[in-house]
Amino acid sequence: MSSRYPVAVRVSLLARYSALPSLAGPDFIPIALVARLPLAMLTIGTLALVSVASGSYALGGLAAGAVGIGSAVGAPALGWLADRYGQRRTVLVAGLLNTATTAGVIAVSYAPGGLHESAPLPLIAVSLAAGLTLPQVGPLARARWMALTERRPLRELERDAAFSYESTADELTFVLGPALVGALGAAIAPWLPLALAAVLTAVFVTAFAVHPTAAAVHTAARTGRPAPTGRTPHRQPPEAGRRSCSRPRACSRWAPSSAAPRPP
Q: What pLDDT score was predicted for residue 222?
A: 54
Per residue in 167-201, pLDDT (tens digit) is: 999 999 999 999 999 999 999 999 999 999 999 99
- Predicted TM-score (pTM) of the model is 0.76
Cβ atoms within 10 Å, residue 38: 30
d(CA 142, CA 189): 35
CA distance 184 to 175: 15
Q: 199 in helix, strand or coil?
A: helix
Q: How many of the other CB atoms lie within 10 Å of CB of 43?
A: 24
Q: What is the pLDDT of residues 32-71, one digit of tens each?
A: 999 999 999 999 999 999 999 999 999 999 999 999 999 9
- Do 153 and 6 meet the contact criterion of CB atoms below 8 Å apart? no
Tell me the CATH class for 13-223: mainly alpha
| DSSP conformation class of 253 | G
- Dihedral angle, C-alpha 77, 82, 84, 86, nearest 10 °: 160
Q: How many CB atoms lie within 10 A of CB 41?
A: 26
Which H, E and C letters describe 76-95, residue by residue?
HHHHHHHHHHCHHHHHHHHH
Interatomic CA distance for residues 101 and 242, integer angstroms: 70
CA distance 151 to 127: 43
Which residues are CB-neighbours of 47 under 8 A, at least 6 positions away? Answer: 60, 61, 63, 64
Give domain limits for the chain. Answer: 13-223
pLDDT of residue 127: 96
Angstrom distance (rounded) from CA 159 to CA 24: 12
Counting as low any pLDDT under 50, the low residues of the chain are 1-3, 5-9, 219-221, 226-262, 264
pLDDT at 19: 79
